Amino acid sequence: MSDEFAYMSASRLRDGFETEAFLPTDVTTAALARIERLNPALNAFQVIDADGAARAAAAADGRWRTGAPLSPIDGLPMTIKDTVDAAGWPTRSGSRTTPETPAVADAPVVAQLREAGAVILGKTTTPEFGWKGMTDSPLAGITRNPWNTAHTPGGSSGGAAAALAAGIGVMAHGTDGGGSVRIPASYCGLYGLKPTFGRVPHYPQTSPFATLISSGPLARSMADLATLLMVMIRPDPRDWYALPADPTDYEAIVAEPPSSLAGMKIAVSYDLGGAVIQKDIRGAVAAAAAVLADLGAEVAEVGPIIAPLRERFERYWLAGFAHRMASIPEAERALMDSGLRALAEQGLKLGLSDYYAGAEARAALGSEMSVVHQHYDLLLTPTMPTSPPTVETVYHSADFDRFDKAVPFTLPFNLTGQPAASVPCGLCDKGLPIGLQIVGPRFAEATILKAAAAYEYAVPAPKFEFSDR
């Protein structure tokens, strides 16, 4: 089957649908063939729904033929991360302790995609309960990075990013509770956004980290990211945390990126919270900051800004895992990821005071970042301090400590609820992608997208196409 559709943009595919040069069925058939051929090397899918995707594509064919598409994503193939409910499929969350019983209703983001006519190819892999910034699990095994299959695509939306970077689907859904959209976006050379907490509705809220988690889009361009974001932010009354409806036209913001960022004040921190980064990553981020300065922004280096995260939030993290494990019968805990279980057992020794101390520290961190944004519209950091580790690397070990090497730049903005994006900004010395993180104050997605689109226009993402040939 031809791979001509594999890396086409959403707008290019819509042009083809409108002229009937090809139809959603053609694109979906090619995507399913690509999954069959490439997924054995990547292991990016938990569920592949060829029959459901074919039916959705055929329905979209009819709408495009009559000139009545439901939305800009009608007929476009994409994926859902297996941490949210999709009616008819189980929600396994990478765990052998979860039931195989199919969900009876769609989570809000899935309902929104279906209502918009998206063709859902299936559900993508995740580490158990999304606990880490690599994607391997007792249920699904190891997911690999198409840039170099010896390396991880990151996590916890690793299956989503691996599939998308491999030319499977046009866009992808991910969730981000500590960097889980931005980390794989960085490692796989993609654009990813964690919106302001509450911007994308979510239900049911079953995680102990519910107030850290946001669904967000992954895409191969800012235009595609904005298109998916517009669908994902539609309100749903089931989410008690949901923000009011957002009228912003994000597609318009990125459609004509500004030729100048004059008047925008941008801070850059290479050592946020005391993080230590690779020399090549620092160089790439510094070059990206210089590009934004050339576009007219006022850019200033600001240093660490915040105190290290471990002392303030490690017990909060462990207590959450303990709460999650408490819901699993003791007889089934041997089925869990051994690393997650060990951390959860540490958490069982903690009390409520440890958890509430973390909640208080979140409020203090939010105030600290609010002060930063009194002076700066945006904050730039590396997305990740190091290049992607190999798949054999043990997460939260001396080789890849969580607080030092996985989330020092991403986690703060889950704790504060701020929006943050990762955009590709070059390749490291190993030839793997580097991500630039762009952070805004709460509700400032428009400012982030404006800067990200201007940067993309000036410095397009590195070209990459994955093939098993």
List of E strands, 64-164? 77-81, 119-124, 136-137, 141-142
Architecture of domain 10-458: Alpha-Beta Complex (3.90)
**Rounded Cα–Cα distance for residues 232 and 228 (Å):** 6
Rounded to whole angstroms, the Cα distance separating 187 from 435 reads 7
Hey, what are 33's tokens? Answer: 């063939």
- The closest of 77, 21, 59 to 224, measured between CA atoms, is 77
Separation of alpha carbons 269 and 285, rounded Å: 10
CA 158 to CA 160: how far, in whole Å? Answer: 5
The neighbouring-strand residues paired with 215 are: 175
Distance (Å, rounded) from C-alpha 177 to C-alpha 60?
A: 33
Amino acid letter for position 252: A
203 vs 337: CA distance, rounded Å: 25
Q: What is the pTM of this model?
A: 0.98
Q: At what angle do helices 445-458 and 279-294 cross, to 10 degrees?
A: 100
Which are the catalytic amino acids?
81, 156, 180
Indicate the helix (H) or strand (E) that contains 192: strand 191-194
| Residue 185 contacts residue 217 (beta carbons within 8 Å) | no
Structural domain boundaries in the chain: 10-458
d(CA 310, CA 294): 36
pLDDT value, residue 1 = 40
Residue with tokens 């916890």: 156
> 389, 366, 246, 267: which is closest to 313 by C-alpha?
366
The count of other CB atoms within 10 Å of the CB of residue 427 is 17
pLDDT (tens place) for every residue of the chain, 469 residues total: 469 999 999 999 999 999 999 999 999 999 999 999 999 999 999 999 999 999 999 999 999 999 999 999 999 999 999 999 999 999 999 999 999 999 999 999 999 999 999 999 999 999 999 999 999 999 999 999 999 999 999 999 999 999 999 999 999 999 999 999 999 999 999 999 999 999 999 999 989 899 999 999 999 999 999 999 999 999 999 999 999 999 999 999 999 888 999 999 999 999 999 999 999 999 999 999 999 999 999 999 999 999 999 999 999 999 999 999 999 999 999 999 999 999 999 999 999 999 999 999 999 999 999 999 999 999 999 999 999 999 999 999 999 999 999 999 999 999 999 999 999 999 999 999 999 999 999 999 999 999 999 999 999 999 999 987 6
User: Omega before 156 cis (within 30°)?
Assistant: yes
